[in-house]
């Protein structure tokens, strides 16, 4: 936008301003040219800082859309507006142009355009997931296929804990789409080169090749892209801090911890040792979350100083137990499962056979709710195939099989055709697409799911790229990812330490208000293990390499994925879920450019995002020119 530099006039005549409705200028024009400067071909920076992405060159068009909408809304009846407000699903309000356009489309005549989707999703009722509580059992490896016929499975001899209470979240029916795939946008393609059209259409032979299940097909991973180190892509270096009143007294403790970490960073181990002892004393005088957090961090620092690294990997049955308690105590895992399931459910709309590949199988707690929702789908459930991937357990039990059996039982009771395969793998990077018995895309739709697993791949060079490549070969409809919203993978130890300190302080604070007793303690131990890994371990042992949404976005888009947006529907359902959970109590959902974040008192803690391979077009849609 050009400025009129008649800067000598304090109150210039507005009618002399430019036709773009430009504002008047004043004596301080020189001072503000810097601030008001907008890149001509880029985003309007002044709006960007306020959360809106509008290209300067699009500004007039966006203004026009606003005007059109205003006009239309005045002409339409009241219920037209309320319809738009309550029924319509909104996506990514930061992208003003697209958001406005989607609302305009609601009012425009195209009669066949039904934004709500005739086959809405199913309602699920609350589910008793008590049967999922058995510990891991039989040993062995990999793939054990079974169907959901009447298979008696041996219950484990001892239940480590009582069955969990009813799952208190539902996968409610979502009118309309909770997700929005930019690939299927109705805007006309504006590609210039005609050659691109042939490349964008999925080549039949490639598709068959990847899904034939033939074991002789090996797809070697592409070489890692230049510059993508496993040590982390630089983040935006935002460090949100939330203090709860008790922490004001604990601030000295925080400073001592950071001083100790700095000493470790500088390899001044004598100083570090002295400080870590001091921290021990200070911690005792604290109460609540601060004391616990400080204790865990101090222990981790001590391990690093004395080189008493924690045994790795963690005993699986213990980690299962901890995981379960964490699941029950606070909403993080529930939010993760819930939002991921919403996205998967929508992606599977209209599909007759579906296949979920779960990178984070654990006890399979995510799947009963999805299965319930599928069971209640109008028109009947699809055939549901689940491939669960997990690490091996130490006591030679086959926990994955156990989990699969339980899910099979559930499937039987709700009349969902079910197929299960468990894969034991030390690392997701050990997987190849050929192992998964993938079926043709038009026969079976695939969803890939990963909850708090992907970051572990960053510990080994090339692992994440291998996995991205394998995922692409799966030709998924959707890839749902839930990750911690933090950068614990920076190259500088002190930075990682400080980030983690604030992050886990907030997490522990959020636990304080929730259930007490064993659940809470177990959850704290669960988190404590993560803390230990972030602080005390290095190299391939340091697997808790959390990265922020911005960093994951970079990774996914570089790897050839495009975002699948989560919308206001999923947002609302997730908010309702949180309200059920201890009355909300500081938890909040936030929308961030199509992703959903769960935070505590404004501090985002985990993020759910969804993706799709960029060149993945569904068989029924082709680009024609």
Partner 1 sequence: MAGSNEVNLNESKRVVPLNTWVLISNFKLAYNLQRRPDGTFNRDLSEFLDRRVPANINPVDGVFSFDHVDGATGLLNRVYQPSSLNEAQWGIVELEKPLSTVEIVPVIVFFHGGSFTHSSANSAIYDTFCRRLVSLCKAVVVSVNYRRSPEHRYPCAYDDGWAALKWVKSRSWLQSGKDSKVYVYLAGDSSGGNIAHHVAVRAAEADVEILGNILLHPMFGGQRRTESEKLLDGKYFVTLHDRDWYWRAYLPEGEDRDHPACNPFGPRGQSLEGLKFPKSLVVVAGLDLIQDWQLAYVDGLKKSGQEVKLLFLEKATIGFYFIPNNEHFYCLMEEIKNFVNPNC
Residues 88-107 that bind partner 1 (CB under 8 A): 90, 93-94, 96
Does 135 participate in binding partner 1 (rule CB under 8 A)? no
Does 439 participate in binding partner 1 (rule CB under 8 A)? no
Residue with Cβ nearer partner 1 (244 or 446): 244
Among the listed residues 8, 21, 189, 281, the single contact to partner 1 using CB under 8 A: 21
Residue with Cβ nearer partner 1 (21 or 189): 21
Nearest Cα to 106, choosing from 76, 128, 127?
76
Q: Give, as ranges, the residues between 603 and 622 that touch partner 1 (CB under 8 A).
A: 603-604
| Dist CA 600 CA 597 (whole Å) | 10
Q: Give, as ranges, the residues between 254 and 293 that touch partner 1 (CB under 8 A).
A: 254-255, 258
Among the listed residues 28, 190, 426, 492, the single contact to partner 1 using CB under 8 A: 28
| Dist CA 598 CA 575 (whole Å) | 9
In the complex, the smallest distance separating the C-beta of residue 282 from partner 1, rounded to whole angstroms, is 13
Does 358 participate in binding partner 1 (rule CB under 8 A)? no
Q: Give, as ranges, the residues between 575 and 604 that touch partner 1 (CB under 8 A).
A: 575, 585-586, 588-591, 599, 601-604
Kind of pairing between the strands at 353-358 and 418-424:
unpaired
In the complex, the smallest distance separating the C-beta of residue 573 from partner 1, rounded to whole angstroms, is 9
| Dist CA 43 CA 58 (whole Å) | 9
Does 57 participate in binding partner 1 (rule CB under 8 A)? no
In the complex, the smallest distance separating the C-beta of residue 248 from partner 1, rounded to whole angstroms, is 5
Residue 501 near residue 257, CB atoms below 8 Å: yes
Does 11 participate in binding partner 1 (rule CB under 8 A)? yes
Q: Which long-range contacts (CB under 8 A, 24 or more apart) does 56-64 make?
A: 56/1, 58/97, 59/1, 59/20, 60/20, 61/97, 62/96, 62/97, 62/100
Residue 206 near residue 565, CB atoms below 8 Å: no
Residue with Cβ nearer partner 1 (22 or 224): 22
Residue with Cβ nearer partner 1 (31 or 308): 31
Among the listed residues 82, 159, 518, 622, the single contact to partner 1 using CB under 8 A: 82
Among the listed residues 5, 8, 32, 116, the single contact to partner 1 using CB under 8 A: 32
Hey, CA dihedral for 270, 271, 276, 281, is it positive or negative? positive
The window from 42-50, 208-216, 338-346, 527-535 that contacts partner 1 (CB under 8 A) reads: 42-50
| Dist CA 223 CA 474 (whole Å) | 19
Query: In the numeric block, which tokens belong to residue 42?
Result: 């880029």
- Residue 154 DSSP SS3: coil
For the chain, the maximum distance between any two Cα atoms, rounded to a whole number of angstroms, is: 89
Does 62 participate in binding partner 1 (rule CB under 8 A)? yes
- Residue 329 DSSP SS3: helix
Q: Give, as ranges, the residues between 198 and 237 that touch partner 1 (CB under 8 A).
A: 237
Among the listed residues 4, 6, 57, 69, the single contact to partner 1 using CB under 8 A: 69
Does 242 participate in binding partner 1 (rule CB under 8 A)? yes
Hey, CA dihedral for 442, 421, 373, 590, is it positive or negative? negative
Binding pattern for the stretch 469-508 against partner 1, x by CB under 8 A and - elsewhere: -----------------------------x---x------
Does 175 participate in binding partner 1 (rule CB under 8 A)? no
Kind of pairing between the strands at 478-484 and 445-451:
parallel
Inter-axis angle of helices 518-536 and 493-512, to 10 degrees? 180
Residue with Cβ nearer partner 1 (541 or 590): 590
Does 15 participate in binding partner 1 (rule CB under 8 A)? yes
Residue with Cβ nearer partner 1 (73 or 515): 73
Does 4 participate in binding partner 1 (rule CB under 8 A)? no
Among the listed residues 229, 251, 287, 623, the single contact to partner 1 using CB under 8 A: 251
In the complex, the smallest distance separating the C-beta of residue 519 from partner 1, rounded to whole angstroms, is 20
Among the listed residues 2, 41, 85, 311, the single contact to partner 1 using CB under 8 A: 85
CB-neighbour burial class of residue 79 (10 A; exposed 0-12, middle 13-18, buried 19+): exposed
Does 412 participate in binding partner 1 (rule CB under 8 A)? no
Length of the chain, in residues: 625
In the complex, the smallest distance separating the C-beta of residue 93 from partner 1, rounded to whole angstroms, is 5
Q: Which residue has the tokens 């990682």?
A: 496
SS3 per-residue string spanning 412-464: HHCCCCEEEEEEECCCHHHCCHHHHCCCCCCCCEEEEEEECCHHHHHHCCCHH
């Amino acid at each position: 936008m050009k400025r009129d530099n008649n800067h000598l006039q304090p109150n210039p005549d507005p009618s002399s301003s430019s036709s773009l409705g430009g504002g008047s200028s004043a004596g301080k024009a020189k001072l503000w040219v810097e601030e008001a400067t907008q890149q001509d071909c880029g985003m309007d920076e002044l709006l960007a800082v306020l959360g809106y992405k509008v290209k300067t060159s699009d500004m007039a068009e966006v203004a026009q859309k606003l005007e059109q909408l205003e006009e239309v809304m005045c002409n339409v009846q009241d219920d037209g507006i309320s319809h738009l407000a309550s029924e319509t699903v909104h996506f990514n309000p930061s992208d003003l142009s697209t958001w406005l356009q989607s609302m305009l489309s609601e009012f425009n005549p195209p009669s066949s355009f039904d934004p709500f989707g005739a086959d809405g999703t199913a309602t699920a009722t609350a589910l008793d997931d008590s049967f999922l509580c058995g510990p891991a059992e039989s040993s062995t490896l990999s793939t054990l296929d079974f169907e959901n016929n009447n298979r008696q499975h041996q219950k484990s001899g001892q239940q480590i804990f009582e069955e969990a209470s009813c799952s208190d979240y539902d996968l409610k029916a979502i009118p309309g789409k909770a997700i929005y795939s930019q690939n299927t946008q109705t805007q006309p393609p504006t590609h210039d080169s005609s050659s691109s059209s042939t490349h964008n259409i999925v080549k039949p032979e490639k598709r068959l090749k990847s899904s034939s299940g033939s074991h002789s097909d090996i797809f070697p991973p592409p070489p890692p892209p230049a510059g993508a180190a496993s040590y982390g892509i630089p983040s935006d270096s935002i460090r949100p801090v939330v203090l709860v009143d008790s922490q004001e007294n604990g601030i000295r403790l925080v400073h001592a911890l950071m001083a100790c970490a700095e000493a470790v960073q500088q390899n001044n181990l004598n100083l570090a040792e002295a400080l870590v002892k001091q921290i021990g004393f200070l911690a005792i005088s604290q109460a609540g979350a601060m004391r616990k957090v400080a204790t865990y961090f101090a222990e981790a620092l001590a391990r690093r100083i004395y080189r008493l690294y924690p045994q790795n990997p963690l005993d699986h049955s213990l980690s299962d137990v901890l995981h379960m308690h964490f699941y029950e105590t606070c909403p993080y895992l529930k939010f993760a499962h819930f939002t991921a399931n919403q996205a998967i459910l929508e992606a599977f709309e209209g599909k007759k056979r579906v296949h979920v590949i779960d990178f984070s199988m654990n006890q399979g707690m995510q799947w009963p709710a999805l299965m319930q929702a599928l069971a209640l789908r109008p028109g009947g459930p699809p055939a549901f195939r689940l491939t669960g991937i997990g690490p091996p357990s130490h006591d030679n039990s086959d926990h994955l099989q156990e989990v699969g059996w339980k899910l099979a039982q559930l499937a039987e009771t709700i009349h969902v055709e079910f197929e299960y395969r468990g894969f034991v793998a030390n690392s997701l990077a050990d997987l190849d697409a050929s192992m998964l018995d993938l079926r043709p895309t038009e026969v079976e739709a695939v969803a890939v799911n990963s909850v708090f697993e992907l970051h572990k791949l960053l510990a080994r060079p090339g692992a994440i790229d291998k996995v991205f490549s394998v995922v692409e070969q799966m030709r998924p409809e959707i890839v749902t990812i839930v990750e911690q919203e933090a950068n614990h993978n920076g190259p500088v130890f002190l930075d990682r330490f400080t980030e983690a300190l604030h992050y886990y302080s907030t997490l522990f604070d959020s636990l304080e208000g929730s259930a007490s007793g064993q659940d809470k303690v177990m959850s704290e131990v669960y988190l404590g293990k993560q803390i230990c890994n972030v602080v005390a371990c290095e190299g391939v042992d340091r697997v808790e390499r959390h990265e922020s949404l911005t960093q994951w976005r970079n990774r996914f888009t570089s790897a050839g994925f495009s975002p699948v947006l989560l919308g206001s529907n999923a947002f609302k359902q997730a908010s309702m879920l949180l309200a059920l959970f201890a009355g909300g109590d500081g938890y909040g959902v936030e929308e961030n450019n199509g992703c959903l974040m769960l935070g505590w008192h404004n501090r985002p803690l985990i993020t759910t995002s969804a993706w799709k391979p960029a060149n993945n077009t569904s068989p029924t849609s082709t680009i024609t020119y």
